[in-house]
Chains A and B, each alone.
Chain A
Amino acid sequence: MSSAAYLPVLIFAVISVLFVLVSFVVSALLRPTKHEPLKETTYECGEVPIGDTRIQFHFQYYMFALIFVIADVLTVFLALWALSFSPSNTLVNALMFVFTGMLVAIILYALKKEELIWI
């Protein structure tokens, strides 16, 4: 199928962006606007925020991000394999099985290591 089949999706994307902008405009016509400095303070349960928000801090999900890259590569290869799956092609199926097994072993090993660094 040619790329022309996906052109309506682009038109719908433009229309849905316009929907958000139109709802902004409608709200701007209806709502009151009174700026007060106290109103615009950061909401952290009524306390004055301590320090800056955008700081370097211990990012404990980083390990999952690394593992996700492995799993995502696995998913891409599985997608190609699944679409062209044929029962008679034993060599490709066996290779895919071995590849998946290797990556799953890597992921499980990484998760076992990750237990040590989780807070």
Chain B
Amino acid sequence: MSLPSWEAWTCVWGSRIGDTLNYLYSIPHSIATAILSFLHINLPQLNYLLTWVIASIILLVVVMVNVIILIYVERKELGRFMDRRGPFVVGPAGFFQNFADAFKFLIKEMILPENADGLGFNSTLVIVVASSMLIMAVVPQAPDFYYTNTDLGLLLAFAIFAIEPFAVVIAGWASNNKYSLLGGFRSTAQMMSYEVPMLITVLSVVVLAGTFNFTQIVNYQASHVWFVVPLIIGFIVFLISIVAEIERIPFDTPDAEAELVHGWMTEYAGIKFALFQLTSYVRSFAGAAIMVLIFLGGWTGPILPPILWFYIKVYAVFTLFVWMRASLPRVRIDQVLNLGWRSLLPLSLVNMLIAAFLKIYGGVFHL
């Protein structure tokens, strides 16, 4: 394989679909072919499996590195919002604080509380973490860096997004703790309430773009206009809904420290708690990535390569999340549900009407 030409780098507006330019396929494929030819094995099925296993590990490492940077960014930005410096002792500018925390969690003792259901207690952790990681498998990051580029990518991403509440309510039930139980039920009620406005907003994007494929949605925005301009109501609804879905601070009633100790995570200790915290950042990253792809033009942008534009936009959206966390108080659970059902659901339907109207009559945006 060779590096793409200068035209390929600068042509960020065009569509580049195809596995030959996809580094997340071509690099693992060449590695797998090299390994198998070294071992004198000629099995296409094994080559396929090995290629995708290596690609999965690369994607997992990419997500992990991003999560580490996101935690650092959040701590630093939160520090600045609160008029303090954030972490600065461990490593250069405090960058290794996360690693210190992770190692501390790793050597903590693991406790299974009495009367807890061991199977439910542990298996829900696996479901929550694995399903959150799985979102990133269907979300492309650049035209030359994606894991899969399927026709139903957008639908699949939200289907995987919705797996977590089931695991959370089982986790709350299995912990045998009243705080955990209440947190689990709250989490489920909140996710149910915000699932509907979020999906209807996403469907208004689908009405305009006419496809569930992330790459085609981004290409449509590149050739027309970013969907944040005609669908500004939908953008706001989606922002609120996604923050509620990933349970960040204005909407973190499921694990409100002041009322429920740590919600459905109360009884989890050591590495399990670390994995839950990591999962919340994976979900933040995936939510920001989906928001960038369907509203903010994805990887399109001048001069810089697409992957860089994608990450610039994702980190900008994440900064918005941190800003909301730093400046807004937590809302009460009945306020959360009322906001979801009484304000966001009608607004998302209005947004849907606007999208259909723009699609029918074209309008000033040449949609």
- Spell out A's residues near B (CB within 8 Å): 1, 5-9, 11-13, 15-17, 19-21, 23-24, 26-28, 30-34, 37, 39-45, 49, 53-54, 59, 61, 64-65, 67-68, 71-72, 74-75, 78-79, 82-83, 85, 87, 93, 100, 104, 107, 111, 118
* A24 to B130 CA separation, bound complex (whole angstroms): 14
Of the candidates A30, A64, A74, A78, which one forms a contact with B106 in the assembled complex, judged by CB atoms under 8 Å apart? A30
A43 and B271 form a contact (CB under 8 A): no
- Contacts A12-B134, A43-B266 supplied; 4 other A-B pairs, CB < 8 Å: A17-B126, A19-B130, A43-B261, A75-B199
* 8 A–B pairs (Cβ distance < 8 Å), ordered by A: A8-B52, A8-B55, A9-B156, A16-B133, A68-B195, A78-B203, A82-B206, A85-B356
Which A residues are in CB contact (< 8 Å) with B210? 83, 85
A110, chain B: closest CB distance, angstroms? 9
Segment 105-152 of B: residues with Cβ below 8 Å from A: 106-115, 125-126, 129-130, 133-134, 137-138, 147-148, 150-151
Which A residues are in CB contact (< 8 Å) with B185? 59, 61
- B59 located at the interface, meaning its Cβ lies under 8 Å from any Cβ of chain A in the complex: yes
* A100 to B207 CA separation, bound complex (whole angstroms): 15
Which A residues are in CB contact (< 8 Å) with B130? 13, 16-17, 19-20
- B96 located at the interface, meaning its Cβ lies under 8 Å from any Cβ of chain A in the complex: no
Do most interface residues of chain A lie in helix, strand or loop, or is the interface mixed? helix
A27-B134 in contact given A40-B112, A68-B196 (Cβ < 8 Å)? no
B273, chain A: closest CB distance, angstroms? 11
B345 and A71 form a contact (CB under 8 A): yes
A20 and B206 form a contact (CB under 8 A): no
A43 and B106 form a contact (CB under 8 A): no
B211, chain A: closest CB distance, angstroms? 8
- B304 located at the interface, meaning its Cβ lies under 8 Å from any Cβ of chain A in the complex: no
Which A residues are in CB contact (< 8 Å) with B204? 82
* A5 to B150 CA separation, bound complex (whole angstroms): 6
A107-B341 in contact given A15-B53, A43-B261, A78-B200 (Cβ < 8 Å)? yes
Of the candidates B57, B176, B211, B270, which one forms a contact with A42 in the assembled complex, judged by CB atoms under 8 Å apart? B176
* A13 to B261 CA separation, bound complex (whole angstroms): 31
A23 and B271 form a contact (CB under 8 A): yes
A15 and B60 form a contact (CB under 8 A): yes
Nearest chain B residue, comparing its CB with the CB of A104: B349
A111 and B341 form a contact (CB under 8 A): yes
Which B residues are in CB contact (< 8 Å) with A15? 53, 56-57, 60
A83 and B206 form a contact (CB under 8 A): yes
Segment 196-254 of B: residues with Cβ below 8 Å from A: 196, 199-200, 203-204, 206-207, 210-212
B235, chain A: closest CB distance, angstroms? 17
* A100 to B179 CA separation, bound complex (whole angstroms): 38
A32 and B109 form a contact (CB under 8 A): yes
Nearest chain A residue, comparing its CB with the CB of B186: A61
A64 and B189 form a contact (CB under 8 A): yes
